[in-house]
């Protein structure tokens, strides 16, 4: 399928679509470091610009528009969540572009908290907006760990199929399960995911294998909880603490924070995926991403669509 990608960031979701064999024609983000990362790994088809300034005429025709619209305004973990947060309006940009291009499909990703904001009213409104564009819309919360990602990241995936298109999108079946029951593989643990990476304090040539020295004290707050090495990691986030820094998960050894590369591995990025920008920026790009393996699972379903 021909893909147009909005809010593409460092390209986690796009990498998943590429792994599933789809062709990304055009992408967009306004965050320069993320755009540079995208270019380094996925190609030059990304435009660095505020989406609200983009004329749909400049976007190529496509089969699907994908986009993880910015979620900060929606996140349950964001104490200051307000329905009126202007960042929530960014999904309307997605709607504007879908309305102008009318692709066969669209796929929007967001935090699970979007589904219960204002007792579900915001989510209802979003789904109804998408439906009114002429799409059959469905949504489901998926756990990245169920698809082999070493992280229990839950995200809502909204899929729209244009009313005249004869295709029923079936969410991908899990390949992994917490205890390996039902003939599925066991969830991948964080220690397993990091086992091939050398100690970042030893000489190595692994890209982005550097870590924040921000102090580690286990007090139960976000980013200050020990990790169980035998389980998938909790959600990698791009959220900041109250001083504006990004909250980084501790390494399961309890001695230091994870390096950017380790965090990228917890997000299932391949080890040769290079990130551009300073350390904080790289942590942020990684925390913002859709895990490529989850992206792959949801993208692969579209390979079942056969045009008649
Ligand atoms: C949740 S991240 C998307 C991550 C991406 N889907 C991935 O898998 O790596 C949201 C992105 O929206 C971008 N963004 C925010 N406001 C924007 C705007 N007005 N125009 C274009 N991009 C914007 C941010 O820079 C950020 O990279």
Per-residue pLDDT tens for 134-190? 999 999 999 999 999 999 999 999 999 999 999 999 999 999 999 999 999 999 999
Round to whole Å and give the CA distance between 36 and 41: 9
DSSP assignment of 72-97, as one string? TTT-TT-TT--TT-GGGGHHHHHHHH
**CATH no. for 2-173+290-304:** 3.40.50.150
Quick count: other Cβ atoms within 10 Å of Cβ 139? Answer: 18
**pLDDT attached to residue 77:** 46
Is residue 26 a contact partner of residue 304, using CB atoms and an 8 Å limit? no
Half-sphere exposure at residue 47, Cβ-oriented, CA atoms within 13 angstroms = 18
Q: Which of 3, 4, 7, 93 to mutate to test the pocket of ligand 1 (most atoms within 8 A of CB)?
A: 7
Q: Which of 30, 39, 155, 290 to mutate to test the pocket of ligand 1 (most atoms within 8 A of CB)?
A: 30
Q: Which residues contact 158 (CB under 8 A, 6 or more apart)?
A: 107, 108, 109, 110, 126, 127, 130, 137, 138, 139
**Dihedral (CA of 180, 154, 159, 24) sign:** negative
Average pLDDT over residues 25-54: 97
Q: For a pLDDT cut of 70, what percent of the chain falls above it? A: 92
Is residue 261 a contact partner of residue 197, using CB atoms and an 8 Å limit? yes
Give the full edge-to-edge strand order of the sheet including 46-48.
46-48, 23-29, 2-6, 64-67, 105-111, 154-162, 135-143
Q: Which residue shows structure tokens 């305004």?
A: 73
CA nearest ligand 1 atom 25, residue:
31
For residue 26, how far is its CA from the centre of ligand 1 (angstroms)?
Answer: 14
CA nearest ligand 1 atom 12, residue:
7
For residue 265, how far is its CA from the centre of ligand 1 (angstroms)?
Answer: 20
**pLDDT attached to residue 82:** 56
Q: Which of 32, 70, 235, 289 to mutate to test the pocket of ligand 1 (most atoms within 8 A of CB)?
A: 70
Round to whole Å and give the CA distance between 221 and 180: 30
Does 260 participate in catalysis according to the annotation? no
| pLDDT tens-place string over residues 197-242 | 999 999 999 999 999 988 888 888 777 888 999 999 999 987 765 5
For residue 237, how far is its CA from the centre of ligand 1 (angstroms)?
Answer: 14
Catalytic one of 48, 62, 71, 260: 71
Residue 177 CB burial class (10 angstroms; 0-12, 13-18, ≥19): middle
Q: Which atom of ligand 1 is nearest to the CA of 292?
A: 8
CA nearest ligand 1 atom 22, residue:
29
| Strand 46-48 relative to strand 23-29, pairing | parallel
Read off the pLDDT band of 244 (50, 70, 90).
low
The mean predicted confidence, pLDDT, of the chain is 91
What is the value of pTM for the model shown?
Answer: 0.94
Query: If residue 157 lies in a helix (H) or strand (E), which one and from where to where?
Result: strand 154-162
Which of 259, 243, 277, 248 minimizes the C-alpha distance to 201?
259
Is residue 13 a contact partner of residue 68, using CB atoms and an 8 Å limit? yes
Which of 209, 175, 168, 178 minimizes the C-alpha distance to 301?
168
The answer on pLDDT for 74 being more than 60 is no
Q: Which residues contact 52 (CB under 8 A, 6 or more apart)?
A: 93
Read off the pLDDT band of 79 (50, 70, 90).
very low
The DSSP 8-state label assigned to residue 212 in this structure reads -
Rg of the Cα atoms in the chain: 19
For residue 196, how far is its CA from the centre of ligand 1 (angstroms)?
Answer: 30
Q: Which residues contact 213 (CB under 8 A, 6 or more apart)?
A: 256, 257
Ligand 1: which residues within 6 Å by Cβ?
Answer: 7-13, 28-31, 34, 50-52, 68, 70-71, 90, 288-290
| Strand 185-186 relative to strand 176-177, pairing | parallel
């Amino acid at each position: 399928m021909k893909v147009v990608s909005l809010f593409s960031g460092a390209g986690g979701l796009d990498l998943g679509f590429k792994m599933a064999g789809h062709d990304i024609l055009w992408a967009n983000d306004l965050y320069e470091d993320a755009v540079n990362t995208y270019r380094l790994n996925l190609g030059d088809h990304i435009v660095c610009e505020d989406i609200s300034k983009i004329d749909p005429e400049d976007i190529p025709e496509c089969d699907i528009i994908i986009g993880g619209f910015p979620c900060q305004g929606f996140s349950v973990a964001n104490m200051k969540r307000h329905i009126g947060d202007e960042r929530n309006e960014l999904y309307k940009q997605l709607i504007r572009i879908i309305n102008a291009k009318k692709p066969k499909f669209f796929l929007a990703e967001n935090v699970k908290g979007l589904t219960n904001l204002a007792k579900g009213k915001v989510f209802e409104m979003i789904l109804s907006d998408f439906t009114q564009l002429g799409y059959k819309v469905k949504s489901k919360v998926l756990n990245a760990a169920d698809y082999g990602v070493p992280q229990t990241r839950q995200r809502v995936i909204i899929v729209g199929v244009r009313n005249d298109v004869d295709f029923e999108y079936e969410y991908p079946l899990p390949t992994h399960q917490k205890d390996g029951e039902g003939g599925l593989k066991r969830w991948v643990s964080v220690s397993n995911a990091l086992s091939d990476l050398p100690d970042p304090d030893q000489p190595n040539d692994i890209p982005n294998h550097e870590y924040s020295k921000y102090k580690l004290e286990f007090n139960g707050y976000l980013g200050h909880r020990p990790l169980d090495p035998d389980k998938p990691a909790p959600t990698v986030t791009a959220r900041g603490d109250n001083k504006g820094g990004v909250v980084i998960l501790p390494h399961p050894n309890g001695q230091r924070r994870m390096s950017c590369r380790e965090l990228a591995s917890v997000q299932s990025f391949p080890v040769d995926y290079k990130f551009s920008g300073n350390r904080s920026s790289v942590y942020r790009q990684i925390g913002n991403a859709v895990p490529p393996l989850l992206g792959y699972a949801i993208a692969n379903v579209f390979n079942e669509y056969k045009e008649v």
